[in-house]
Amino acid sequence: MNKKSGLVLLFLTVLSFTAVAQQKADAVLGSWANPSAEDHILIYKKGNKYFGKLDWIKFPNDENGKPKTDKKNPDDALKSRPELGLELLKDFVFDGDDMYVDGNIYDPKNGKTYSCKMTLDGTKLKIRGYIGISLIGRTEVWTRIK
């Protein structure tokens, strides 16, 4: 094997490891149900970050039969936006170990945004929302929708 062949082999090996790592990172993509199964969240990718939006609601309308809105949002200008399609997960980065970090999660039930990390475990996604450090927070387990 000459020097040129060795460099080509090294390049192809690095390229294949990169492709495998990307496939592992993208394993989180798709639809997930929250614990009550009343909401489905679609996780998608923009650039190299992961986001999630509310793409199905079991009870999409309020008591007046109108689509639910983000009425608990502290920003008055956002209170009239529909809950369906609302971006709940923002700016997650894959850390290489089945964990997505440095993101945040918005809770439309109380209008608050929390720091968040996600851990993928097969068909389960552990969502840990917290304030400050992850010890002070709450974990929900979402289930992949087939």
* Cα-Cα-Cα-Cα dihedral sign, residues 39, 37, 74, 89: negative
Q: Provide the pLDDT for residue 133.
A: 83
Q: What angle do CA 37, 41, 42 make, to 5 degrees?
A: 140
Cα 79 to Cα 101: distance, rounded to the nearest angstrom: 28
pLDDT over 80 at 87, yes or no: yes
> CATH number, domain at 32?
2.40.128.520
Asked whether residue 123 is assigned to any structural domain, the reply reads yes
Asked whether residue 135 is assigned to any structural domain, the reply reads yes
Q: Provide the pLDDT for residue 11.
A: 43
Q: Could you tell me the CA-to-CA distances from 14 to 9, 68, 69 in Å, in that order?
A: 9, 49, 48
Asked whether residue 77 is assigned to any structural domain, the reply reads yes
Report which secondary-structure segment, H or E, holds 66.
none
Phi and psi dihedrals of 128, rounded to 5?
A: -115, 105
Structure confidence by residue, pLDDT tens digits, 4-43: 655 544 443 433 344 444 568 999 999 999 999 999 999 9
Q: Across all residues in the chain, what is the average pLDDT?
A: 88
Overall domain count for the chain? 1
> Residue 135 — pLDDT band, cuts 50, 70, 90?
confident
Q: Provide the pLDDT for residue 12.
A: 37
Q: Provide the pLDDT for residue 8.
A: 45
Asked whether residue 93 is assigned to any structural domain, the reply reads yes
Q: Provide the pLDDT for residue 46.
A: 97
Range of the domain at 43: 28-144
Share of the chain above pLDDT 90, in %: 78
Asked whether residue 88 is assigned to any structural domain, the reply reads yes
Asked whether residue 22 is assigned to any structural domain, the reply reads no
pLDDT over 50 at 82, yes or no: yes
> Residue 1 — pLDDT band, cuts 50, 70, 90?
low
Asked whether residue 4 is assigned to any structural domain, the reply reads no
* Cα-Cα-Cα-Cα dihedral sign, residues 105, 57, 52, 87: negative
Asked whether residue 114 is assigned to any structural domain, the reply reads yes
